[in-house]
Amino acid sequence: MSYLTENFLLTTKTAKKLYEDYAKKMPICDYHCHLPEKQILENKPFNDIFEVWLAGDHYKWRLMRNFGIDEKFITGDATNKEKFVSYCTALETAFGNPLYHWSQVELKEFFNCELEINAKNADLIWDWCNEFIKINNITPQKLIEQSNVTHVFTTNEIFDDLSTFKEIAKKDYKFKVVPAFRADKIMNIEADGYLGFLQKLGKVENLLDLEEKIEQRLQEFIKVGTTASDIALQSVYKVSQQKDADEVFKRRLNGEQISEDDAKIFKGYLTYFLFKLYAKYDIATELHLGAMRNNNTKMLGILGLDTGYDSIAEDNSTANLSRLLDRLEMENSLPKTVLFNLNPKMNAELMTLLGCFQSSIAKGKIQ
Claim to verify: residue 197 and residue 305 sit in the same structural domain: yes
Task: Please report, for residues 80, 125, 169, the alpha-carbon distance to residue 116 in angstroms, rounded to integers and kept in the order given.
Answer: 20, 9, 39
Last residue of a domain, one of 105, 138, 171: 138
142-148: Cβ within 8 A, 24+ apart = 143/52, 143/110, 144/40, 144/173, 144/175, 145/173, 145/174, 145/175, 146/110, 147/28, 148/25, 148/26, 148/27, 148/28
Range of the domain at 66: 45-138
Average pLDDT of span 163-174: 96
The residue type at 14: T
Rounded CA gap, 342 and 290, in Å? 5
Claim to verify: residue 124 and residue 226 sit in the same structural domain: no
If one compares 304 and 364, the residue with the highest pLDDT of the two is: 364
If one compares 8 and 3, the residue with the highest pLDDT of the two is: 8
> What is the dihedral sign for C-alpha 344, 348, 350, 354?
positive
- The CATH number linked to 308 is 3.20.20.140
Task: Please tell me whether the overall predicted TM-score, pTM, comes out greater than 0.85 for this model.
Answer: yes
pLDDT band with cut points at 50, 70 and 90 for residue 22 = very high
Claim to verify: residue 124 and residue 57 sit in the same structural domain: yes
pLDDT tens, 128-150?
999 999 999 999 999 999 999 99
Task: Check residue 5 and give its pLDDT.
Answer: 84
Give yes or no for residue 1 having a pLDDT over 70.
no
Rounded CA gap, 29 and 338, in Å? 15
Average pLDDT of span 342-365: 93
Q: What are the φ/ψ torsions at residue 151 (nearest 5 degrees)?
A: -140, 135
Task: Check residue 316 and give its pLDDT.
Answer: 73
Claim to verify: residue 252 and residue 342 sit in the same structural domain: yes
The answer as to whether 270 is a domain residue is yes
Query: What's the total number of domains in the chain?
Result: 2
